[in-house]
Amino acid sequence: MNFWENVYVETAASYSVAVLCAIVFLAIFELVTSYNNWEQIRKGNFSVAMATGGKIFGISNIFHYSVQHNDSLLQMMAWGSFGFVLLLIGYFMFEFLTPSFRIDKEIEEDNRAVGFIAMVISVGLSFVIGANIL
């Protein structure tokens, strides 16, 4: 058996790539929000925690499907990255479709209803995105 075909090596490789991608994708989400996620979470802002948790779940769920349906790390990364872009578009659509208030401002001000909806949108979209990953 080849070293790279060992199930433990494959698992460690997929895990490592998914975690690194999640860190990069969370950093991108940090750039597009008007508030500092981790500073707000440190302050106890539950809305930011829910929205960020939804993003983490969404990214992880997309990679779950990507790992499940792809044999190579490169394919897994490509589909995971494509899924992230779709998740990011969903984030912008949420902001665009609610012109009566600014999502980021509401979440920063700890509007838990908006934080909860943001979390559910990220989670829900991740299942839709994941179901289409080949």
Residue-wise pLDDT for 38-70, tens only, equals 999 999 999 999 999 999 999 999 999 999 998
For the chain, what is the domain count? 1
Confidence of residue 1 (pLDDT cuts 50, 70, 90): low
- pTM given for the model: 0.91
Domain with 40, as residue range(s), is: 3-131
DSSP conformational letter for 109: T
Residues 83, 72: Cα–Cα separation, whole Å: 16
Tokens (6 digits) for 25: 């994708």
Average pLDDT of the chain is 94
